[in-house]
Structure formats: structure tokens, C-alpha cells
Amino acid sequence: MSELIPAFFDRLSSVEGAVLRCISKGERCTVAGTDLAELLDRVAALLAETGVTPGDRAIAVFDNTLESALTLLTAMRHGITLCLQPSGIQVEDLVRLKADLSANAIVNATRTGIQGTTQILLDELDEFPPVLPGPVAPYTPFTITFTSGSTGTPKGVVHSAESFLACAEAFNRQSGVTEQDRFLNVMPMFYMAGIFNGILAPLAAGAAVVIGESFNTATAMRFWQTIAVEEISALWLSPTMLSLVVRLDRTDRTVPAGFRRLFVGTGAMSAEDAEYFHKTYGLPPLQSYGLSELLYISVDSVETPNFGTVGYPLEGISLIGDEEDPLAIESPYGFLGYLIDGALQPHEGSFLTSDLAELSESGILSILGRVDDTILRGGVNINPLDLEAALAPIMKGRTFCITGMPDATLGQKVVLVMEGEPMRNVAFAKAQKIIRDLPGRAQLDEAAQIAKLPQGPTGKLRRSAVRAMLERDGV
């Protein structure tokens, strides 16, 4: 039996005040630490009625709700494996995924009903007598998040609770997060940053978590007001989220009292942008680096931030590589393995990334770029070549490509870029369905048009130049 899981819940149960608060969806719900265990055990009773018991798999549709956090924590406490999916996913995709994973049920932790799912609602949990947890076997699969590798074969990244909790403890020690903090979580809770950065890591320190609406323009406009009203001391943003906050800020640009940690991850932030924010607001944005498979890798120093880098590797992390070869990482916080065709294929040894990196003599890590042009959308790796091959039959010889562009919520959005005339709405909707029906969890977000796709001397597409053109045009 793992001691990390009961220790995690024992710590939270000793907190008399709120450990979870939801201000999303126009509602305010609060859960005290002393009430948390019983609520989770009532969720476990609800899940049991759907046929999900310890050791089983369930498909879980998440949004930024208190119910999503409770479902996640219930799975950890009772040894249930959750395959996380976003709100808005098609019902047929959920049904297919349930069959592929031999899952026992599809549960819905959003505030919107979904046909064929069991909805979890806080107001209805009193109907279910709590079910006490039994011992959870060490390294029981806890979460499955899907990615698509270079071959396009669907692979589920499988983590145990131990990897989350051990990594969270290492991160909290290095970054100084404590039980005195209160986090605001505006990261979408269906993927890694939303559940780990915004829920599990703060709770592991005994810090309270306020769940806000998934980041958008409206939340950016009231960003500083929310921090002040909710007495937030720390949060996570992506670089593009932070950029939008700065652009829309109409305050006097004074950080509210008590706000002391701004973590920036899921993408690269330029040294210039970090320095501008620090100079303007007097608070250093602390950059970090992580992977779906390995969780946190590094975080910058609070006392002496190194803008343009991703800080210092966490305790136990070993880095292998140079500026010419992709970075390989050995981590004690790594995933159990990939789920392929419904079966776990354990991962052993170092993990080879597609990132080029540099480690300074003083131990500061910098990410120099990606070896390839893989699109990282919401924590899912998407190979543009696979998508282009799938769309080729309907493009009828028209010159086009797929590329990723920065997105405030997802990290990157998937853009279909064509030469000549823009694509009609009906044709684009057909292209979206083709991509959505592919194995894995790829999506097509936008279409763009340019006069001529840039090519090299041999006719090879210059994807970096495409992205530069789209960025110039504001796509």
C-alpha cells in the first residue's frame, strides 16, 4: 500500500477551512478540509452504482467545476482510473473510447448534461451513503490522457497517484509553496496543467484552491479583480494567457496584496516579456518546464529568477543531451507507460523528448526549441503530417499544410493553412470531422489563407516561415 495517498488525504482532512472553492459557472461552492473525505466517499458510492469500483476504469468528462475536482480526488482515494476528456466532446467519441478502453462507465463532471453519461452534481451527493476506501495498491493507474505519437498511433499516457504526489512535493519544496497559499486555477481541467498544476500540486502542500472559469478574454479582463477579491496568493498561466492579461489590463498595474507567486508554463516565454512583466508589476514570472509523461522537470528560482530559461531541475531529475541532440530525461516522477490498444506498455529508462536544451554550468536549464514541428494542443502531441495525409483526399490537389499557433488556453491551436481562396465553411466543417474521427484526440481549430506557402530550395515546406506569416497576420 502506498503511504503517499493516505498522507495526502490526512493532511487535507486536518484543514478546518476551505480547501476547494469554485467560482466558475456563476456559482460559489466551498468544501472544507474536514468535509472532503466524506464527500469523496459519497462520490465513490455514486460511481459504484454505475459499475465503477476500485481497480476499474471510467471515462470522465471534465470542465472547471468543483465536481471535476471531487471526481479526480475520489479516483485517487479509491484506486479508480480516469480517462479525462474535455467538455464539448462528441457523444459517439465517448462511446467509442469507452469500448476501446474497456471502461465501466462514462461520468460527466460538467454542469451540462451529456446523453448516455452519469452526471455528478454536488447538490445530489447527500443521497449516496459514503463508501470507505480500502488500501490502494502501489502504482495503481490513476489518470489516462491521450496523445498521438509520430506514427499517429493513439497512446494513452498513464500516471499513478504516486508520480503526481512525489513530483508535487519536490516542486513545492523548490518553489516555496506552502499551506498558507491560495491558488486560482483557470487552466482547463481536462488536461495535465489543469489537474496537476492547478489542483493536485497546491493541495499536496495543504494550500487552498479556488477553481475559476477556464481562461478566456472575459476572465483576463477581470483577472486582477478576481485575485484581489478571492485573496489569491499564487496561480499558473501560460505565456499567451499572461500576454492577454497584460494587454487588457486597465488597472494601475499594482499587484494585489498577498499575491506572491506567478508560475508560467506549458510554453516558452521570452526573456523580454518576462522582464517587462517584472518591471511593470514588480513580480517575477517563474517559468517552468514539464511534460505529460514526466510532469514537472524544472522551475525558476524565486529569489534570483533567470528570465528566458525554465529554471533549475527538480530534485532527482537527470538531464542528458546537448544543443545538437534531443534532450533525454531520467525522472523518479515519470509515467507508468503508454496505453496502446487498451493495454499498458510500461516505460523503462530515460525519456527522449523532441526538445533541444542547454544546461548552464550553474545548473540552469534553457529550452532552445523543438526538433520537429509537433503541435502540442492541450497537452496532446499532434503530428501535422498525419493530419495532412488524412485531409489530402478532400483537398483535390490544393496546396495546404497543418501547423500549430499559440493559443491562450490550449498552448497551441491546430490551423489548416491553404494557398489561394479561403475554404468555405461547409468544407472546413467536413475537414474538422475527418480530423476528429482520427485515432487519438486531434482537433482542427481554425483555417487560414496565404498567397503562397514558403518553400526551401528543394521544394520542402518551411513550416517555421508559415508560422511567422500567420503570426504577422494575427492568426
Average pLDDT, the chain: 91
Say whether 375-472 and 4-370 share the same fold.
no
How many helices, marked H, and strands, marked E, lie in the chain? Answer: 14, 27
Mean pLDDT of the 11-38 span: 93
Task: Return the pLDDT at 152.
Answer: 39
Q: What is the pTM assigned to this prediction?
A: 0.80
Task: Return the pLDDT at 386.
Answer: 80
The most distant pair of C-alpha atoms in the chain lies apart, rounded to whole Å, by 70
Residue 213's nearest CA partner among 205, 203, 223 is 223
Task: Return the pLDDT at 461.
Answer: 75
Q: What is the pLDDT of residues 301-348, one digit of tens each?
A: 999 999 999 999 999 999 997 766 889 999 999 999 999 888 899 998
400 grid coordinates: 495546404
More confident residue, 266 or 24: 24
Domain ranges of the chain: 4-370, 375-472
Across the beta sheet with 337-340, what order do the strands follow?
A: 118-119, 105-108, 57-62, 81-86, 141-148, 154-160, 337-340, 343-346
Task: Return the pLDDT at 458.
Answer: 37
96: which residues sit within 8 A by CB, 6+ positions away? none
Q: What is the pLDDT of residues 435-466, one digit of tens each?
A: 998 887 789 999 999 998 887 643 467 788 89
For 51, 161, 316, 330, the CA distances from 168, given in Å and listed in that order, are 31, 11, 13, 17
Per the CB < 8 A criterion, the answer to whether 224 and 249 are in contact is yes
CATH top class, domain 4-370:
alpha beta
Task: Return the pLDDT at 261.
Answer: 96
Alpha-carbon Rg for the chain, nearest whole angstrom, is 22
Task: Return the pLDDT at 421.
Answer: 85
Q: What is the pLDDT of residues 92-134, one digit of tens each?
A: 999 999 999 999 999 999 999 999 999 999 999 999 999 999 9
In CATH terms, the fold of domain 375-472 is GMP Synthetase; Chain A, domain 3 (3.30.300)
Task: Return the pLDDT at 323.
Answer: 67
Tell me the pLDDT band of 154, cut-offs 50, 70 and 90.
Answer: low
Region of poorest pLDDT, from 153-167, 203-217, 327-341 = 153-167
Q: What is the pLDDT of residues 68-94, one digit of tens each?
A: 999 999 999 999 999 999 998 899 999
